[in-house]
Amino acid sequence: MVNTKVMLAGIEMDNPVIPASGTFGYGQEFAELYDINCLGTFSFKGTTSEPRFGNPTPRIAECSAGMINAVGLQNPGVDAVVSHELPEMKKFFHKPVMANVCGFSLEEYAHVCEVLDSEEQIGWFEINISCPNVHGGGMSFGTSPCAAADVVKAVKKVTTKPVIIKLSPNVTDIVSIAKACEAEGADGISMINTMLGMRIDLRTKKPIIANKMGGFSGPAIKPVALRMVYQVYEAVSVPIVGMGGLMNAEDVIEMMLAGATAVEVGTANLIDPFVCKKIVDELPAVMEKYGIKNLTDIIGGAH
C-alpha cells in the first residue's frame, strides 16, 4: 500500500491534488459529475469585496499546447460567497476548502480575508497577487518584493488561517518575491499563475481577446513552472503549491520532485472535467511504478 497523504501548512490532505481557482467554480458543477471529496481540496473562484462582471468578451483563445484567458475575476463578491456559495458547498464537499482572494488594494485583500476568516469550511487562504487579466490591481502587487510583502502583512493581521501567496511568473526574479513573502509570515507559496500571452485573428487582423492579452496556461508552460518551483524550493522553507500545465499523475510526481508539497490542476479541468478524479485514481499505480511508498518522501527529491 502506498500513502498519498500530504500536510499543507498544518492541514492534512488525503492527496496533493487541488483543482485550481477559476477552473472549478465553487465545485457544484463538478460535484454533479463525481464525488469531489476524493480530492485533496479545491481552490474556489477568486473572490473580491464587490461583485465583478469581469472583462468584455471574447475572453478565451485557444493556442498550441494551451489556452489564453482574460475572464477578469468574475465573481459574486465576498458577501454572496458567505451567504450562498459556502452554505451550498457544505452540502457536497466535506473537507477544508481553499479560498482564493483577490484585491485591487491592501484594504480589499484584508477586508475579504477578514470576512471569510470565521467561515469553518475554509482551511487556507490563497492570496492572488498575480492575476494578469485585470487593470490596476492583481499582478501589480506580485511584481515587487515590497508590494508582495505588504499584502502578506495586511492579510496576516486579520486572519487566523494559513496564508498561501500565489505568485506571478511574469517577473525577472520570482525567488526574491517568494522570500519577501516568507519573511512577512506567509505560510506557503502557490506558483505559478498564468504567463502573459495573446493571439491575433488573421481575418480581422486584431487580437482575438477583447482584453488584447490574457493568461497563458496549459502544458506549454510546465517547464517554466517546474523551473520556478525548483528555484523557490531552494530559497524558502514554507511549503509550495505547484501548478502550471499539469495534466496527469506523472506530472504531479514531477512537480513534487521539483519541490511542491501539493499541486493545482487548472487548464486540464476545462478540457476534461473528470481529470482531477483520474489523477487521484492513477496516483497509487504511478507511485508503485516509480517505487514511491510515501508521497511526502519525494518533495524536493530532485535537489
Residue 277 CA from chain centroid, whole number: 17
Catalytic residue status for 131:
yes
Q: Let me know how long the chain is.
A: 303
Contacts of 302 by beta carbon, 8 Å cutoff, 6+ apart: 230, 257, 258, 259
- Look up residue 115 and give its three cell numbers: 470576512
Q: Which helix (H) or strand (E) holds 286?
A: helix 275-289
Q: Which of 102, 131, 181, 276 is catalytic?
A: 131
Contacts of 108 by beta carbon, 8 Å cutoff, 6+ apart: 48, 49, 137
Measuring CA to CA, which residue among 163, 139, 194, 148 is closest to residue 22? 194
Give the distance between the most distant pair of CA atoms in the chain: 57
- Look up residue 72 and give its three cell numbers: 477578469
For helices 145-156 and 106-116, the axis angle rounded to 10 degrees is 30
Any idea which residues carry the catalytic annotation?
131
